[in-house]
Every structure is written in structure tokens, then in C-alpha cells.
Structure 1
Amino acid sequence: MKIACALFLLLHLQQVWTDLQYKLCGYWTSSKGFGLPAFTERIILNDVTVFYHDSNTKSKMPCPDWISTTVGRDEWSSIHDWSDYNRYFFTLGLQSATKQFNLTGSLSDQNIYQASGCCTLYPNGTYRVLVTHAFNGKDFTSFDMNTKTFVAAVPQAVLYKHLRERDSVAIDGVAAFYKKSCLERLNILKQAPALLIRKVPEVRIVEQQKVGSITVTCHVTGFYPPVVQVVWLGPDLQPVDEGVTDVLPNEDSTYQTRKSVIVPEEDVGEHTYSCVVLHSSVPDNITRVWGGEKAGGMAVWISLVCICLLAAGIGLVVWWRCRTRDAVI
């Protein structure tokens, strides 16, 4: 029964893996002080930057060569147009928040308004949108797609909410973009060459002896893109919540993660356990098997090896003495 469940899990994971999720996000920052440009915009697909612009640059990124279709180039022009639109409204957000929080004098010299808008396409076809704004690192407002209204997270955001909703044409444009245009843009930008890079993960198993059990860790590193699934298969495994379980960056632009389980001492040497890693760089999966070994079992094997060596030594001595005696005769 357990084997059947494990096989079902693997088949399910591989089915999910046939199509990666795509997440397109725009990140905008309006700031005063901190030595930053007054406005920055960055568009990222998964973790790859496909467009960047800030107020210190005189021009915006030209359309890259890998966008060769007319529709794609029109969409790139739309990105340029939206950049001007975003700069106006997020600068308005900075000014409104600074005033509503009554930050005057030196308190008005260093403030930052950040906004992000993301659309995500999942393998099962589900499409989701999230638009949030923050002021000085704290939630300020968000956009509700269903009602086409801004939701104030704090009382100081109510003025900005009314300022935005007063322009019904602009609000309709924002809703239309995230309901449809963001997905169309995602499908165009996912042809970026940087998204095609694949690096195969290195997988190794490390064990740590504890009282009454062994913690076995599957360490996965050196992979790209960062989306990965790590699954332990085996009987009576207990997940370990402590330690690093998130995907973290390496210095060489690859990523790493790990997943640990606890194997009861009485099960050590009785069962095998498999760490299965699924990543887009490999067609199927990478599997590493850990079987463990009881201390008593190890002692038995060492004893057997010593007996064999001793027997071989005695046999060698007997053979040498017989050979010497024959030579004398």
C-alpha cells in the first residue's frame, strides 16, 4: 500500500512538473532621499529582469531583438507608455502618504513608496493577480479586481484611494490590464533567452546521529531556475520543521535548498529511504537512496572481515611452511 502511494505521489509530481508556473511582476518605487532615483520600475518574469527604467536615465530600454513579432513590439511600446503612467500615480502616492502621515520638516526628507503588481499563471491553468502598495515598508493599500476599488490598509490611505478612484477611466484600465493584458504580456516575455537557462542540481545526503533517531538531510544545490520540489519517500518518516527549507540563492546565481526527515533508531537498517528531486533541468527526477545501518550490524560486518583476514593469514603461513618443508626434502 505504501509503495502504491509513493508511486502515485511521484506520478503526480511529474505531471505537475510538465509545465512550470510563470509569474510576471512589476515593481515600482517612488522615493525621496536615501540616494535613490526619484522613480524606478522593474518588470520581472519569474526571477529574470526583462525591463528596467529609472528617472536618472534619459531613455527607456529599447525593444530586445528576441521580440520579433509586431504584437510583441507593440506590447513593448505599451510598457514604455505605462511607465510614464506609473511614475505619475506612484509619485502621487508618495506625496499623499507623506502629507497624511503628517511628516513635515526633516521627517519628509526620507520616505519611500513601493508598489507591486503580479499576475501568475499556474500549471493547471489558474490565473491569479495581486496588487499591493506600501509606504515606508508598511502596508498602505491594495487593489480589489472584483470591485475595481482600492482597499485602504490604514486611515492615511483613504485620500489616495479617493484620488485614484475619481478617475474611472484609469481604474477601468488598471482592471483590464490585470485581467487580460498582463497574461498576454507574460506569454510574450516568457520567450526571453535568460528563461531558457537550465542548471542541473547536485544532490547529496547527510546524516546526523541523535539520541533515539537519525536526522537525514537531502541537500540540493547548484540548480537553476529556482523552482524545485524535494520529496522524501519511505515508511514512518517524520518531517523536520527546523532549519533551512526555503530556496536560497548561491553566489554563482544558482540556488540551494534542503529537506530533512527523522528516522527512528529502530528502523535504521530495516528500510531504505529515497530523496526525490524534481527540476526542469532533468527530464524525470534525481533520486538518492539512504538505507542507514545499525551499529550492531556494522560491528558484525567488521568482525566477519577480521575473521576472514585472520583465516587468510593462517592459510598463508601454513602454505609457506609446507612449501619450505618440500624444498628441504
Structure 2
Amino acid sequence: MKNTCVLFLLLYLKQMRTDLQLCGYWTYSKGVGQPEFTERRVLNDVTVYYHDSRLRSKMPCPDWINTTAGKEEWSSIHVHSDHNRYVFTIAFQLATQQFNLTGSLSDQNIYQGSGCCSLYPNGTYRVLVTHAFNGKDFTSFDMNTKTFVAAVPQAVLFKTLRERNSASINMLAVYYKTRCLERLNILKQAPELLIRKVPEVRVFEQQKAGSITVTCHVTGFYPRVVQVVWLGPDLQPVDEGVTDVLPNEDGTYQTRKSVIVPEEDVGEHTYSCVVLHCSVPDNITRVWGGEKAGGMAVWISLVCICLLAAGIGLVVWWCCRT
């Protein structure tokens, strides 16, 4: 049992993603009912900048940016917005040509790009830049080699033309290596980032032949980043453990994580759903043990939870202070 607890703890810490993330999202489209070009910059759940081709002017600098460095960075966003529109216009044209979507076939197409820089509590800094055409992977940018990776043969021409312009490639690399982090630290002062709403956690079960599916439902939380983990022996995740975080009508979020408990284990062990969210200083725990759980199993589960809480306490504190 001790080994099982340690394994769950290690897996949980490995998956910990209470990070601060700044993402840019760009689209160039025709015939899909959207502006020809859009640009959105999002810090965690908060949109801090938006512009599209229908607008005559760009979003003014918000009042909460009151430093010289912050105002200069906002001006830089305006300048690069025009450059991004040019890049994605060319990318859209190349993609439609390479997929032979000319004439009437070019009426409804969309080219999308995203670039994110993420800062983790342990100081790790990561970057992800991807492009897609009509909802499918098109290309991505490799920061280590400063090259584009073509996901499909039709993206090779785009890759070749972009890499031919070494100045543009270097500018892209410098932005994601340094400028994105600097911009993240400036924009994290957005007042909306201070909003915290505590999740409501409920555990329920569903009987099936030979097993019971136990679900941990978490709702009403904000911001979006949350971690939900089940602790206990012989648990089988449902849907490979992948869960979606979905929006509620009031602007908060909800998610759920389900596990399958073998019928022979019901009543023999306790199982705990542990929820980590930056709105609470520690964690929220709900215990499920069927009808016959013994006292020793309860104590073992509580020990596991304490180990988990100790391992992640510093991470939660970092998240809350941002």
C-alpha cells in the first residue's frame, strides 16, 4: 500500500500544471462567418488583448498598465499585430494553394495559429507554437533548432519560405525565449486574475456488472486550472483518465474524473478524490469507501492524502499569490 501511495504521489506531481500561461491565438479565414483576421492574447483565462480586421483601431492600453515598460510593451503588441496579419495572410494563401483549394473550393477555409509560453512553479519555462489549417495540424515551430516542422507535405513550402527569412526566424525565437516571459510578467497584473472561486466537490457512484464506477464531480471554480486525482488501490481510470474542463453559465468551470473500482474491493478499501485549486490554501478531499470500509483502510488513505498535501503545498501557495 505504501508503494501505491508513493506511485500516485509521483504521478500527480508529474502532472502538476498550476502554471501561468500567456497565449496568442490568430486566425485568418474566408467564408466561415468570422472577421478575415483575428488576434487574441490570453493570460490563463483572461483575454488581455483583442483585435480583428473589422476594427479601425487597436485596443488601447488598459489603465492597470501604469509603468513605462508596460506601456512600451503594449505599443509593441500593436506593431506586431500588423506583422502577424501579414504572416497569416501569406500562410492562408500558401495552404489553400498547396491543398489545391482554388476557385469555389477556396470559399470556406480557416488558418489558425497559437503560441504559448508557460511558467511553472518550479521555474520551468516552456514554449509551444503550432499552426493548423481547416482544423488539422499544419506545422509547428521547434525552438531548439529554430525550424518549422511540417505536419503534412503541403506545409513544406511554408516551412521553406519562413526559414529562408533568417531575420524573421530569429525574431520569433527571441520573442518566445525572452519577450513572451517579460510580457507575461507585465500582463499578470490584470485585475481579473485576482478572482478566485472555490470548487464544489461531490462524489457519486454507478453500479455496473462486476464493478462500480465512482465519479468525482467538481464545479463552480475559477480560474480554469484545476487538478483532480483519485487515490486508492486497484483503480482503473475511465476514458484513459482524460477529462475536459467545461464552462458553466456563470463564468465558472466544471470537470469530473471517474474511476472503476473492482466489485471485490468494494468495502475493503477507501478511495479519495483530491482536488487542488488555487482558491484554497491546501486541497479539498472527498472519501468514498463503499459500505464495509475498515478503520485501517481509512487511516492509510488519510496518510496518502497528507503526503500529497505536503508535496504540493508550496505549489498551491505559489499559485494563489499570483
- Distance apart, 1:282 and its partner CA: 0.7
1:252-308 Cα shifts (integer Å, max 9, x gaps): 2211122223334444334433222111111111122223215xxxxxxxxxxxxxx
Report SS of the residue matched to 1:115.
Answer: strand
2:72 corresponds in structure 1 to 74
2:4/2:233 contact within 8 Å kept: no
Query: How far is 1:196 from its partner?
Result: 1.5
Residue 241 of structure 1: SS of its match in structure 2? Answer: helix
- CA distance in 1 between partners of 2:205 and 2:248 (Å): 22
Task: Say which one has the larger Rg.
Answer: 1
> Is 2:160 aligned against 1:162?
yes
**Residue 51 (structure 2) aligns with:** 53
**Between the two proteins, what is the percent identity of the paired residues?**
79
Normalising to structure 2: TM-score of the pair? Answer: 0.81
Question: 1:201-245: per-residue Cα shift (whole Å, max 9, x none)?
Answer: 111111222334332222111111122122223344443337973
Aligned to 1:325: none
Taking the TM superposition and a 5 Å limit, the aligned residue runs for 1:1-329 are: 2=2, 6=5, 20-241=18-239, 245-293=243-291
Q: Contact 1:27–1:115 (CA<8 Å) still a contact in 2?
A: yes
Counterpart CA distance in 2 for 1:163 and 1:290 is: 58
CA distance in structure 2 between the partners assigned to 1:12 and 1:167 by the alignment:
42
Distance 1:57 1:213, change over 3 A: same
**Structure 1, residues 26-54: CA drift from partner, whole Å, max 9, x if none?**
11111222232121101111222110000
Distance across 1 between alignment mates of 2:108 and 2:11: 50
Cα drift, residue 163 of structure 1 = 2.7
What code does the residue aligned with 2:111 have? Y
Instruction: Determine helix, strand or coil for the equivalent of 2:84.
Output: helix
How many residues in Structure 1 have an aligned counterpart in Structure 2? Answer: 292
| Contact 1:244–1:257 (8 Å) recurs in 2 | no
Amino acid at match of 2:78: H
TM-score (norm 1): 0.79
- Name the CA distance, whole Å, in 1 between partners of 2:136 and 2:267: 52
Contact 2:18 2:226 in 1 (8 A): no
Deviation at 1:176, TM superposition (A): 0.7
Query: What 5-or-longer segments of structure 1 have no aligned partner?
Result: 295-329
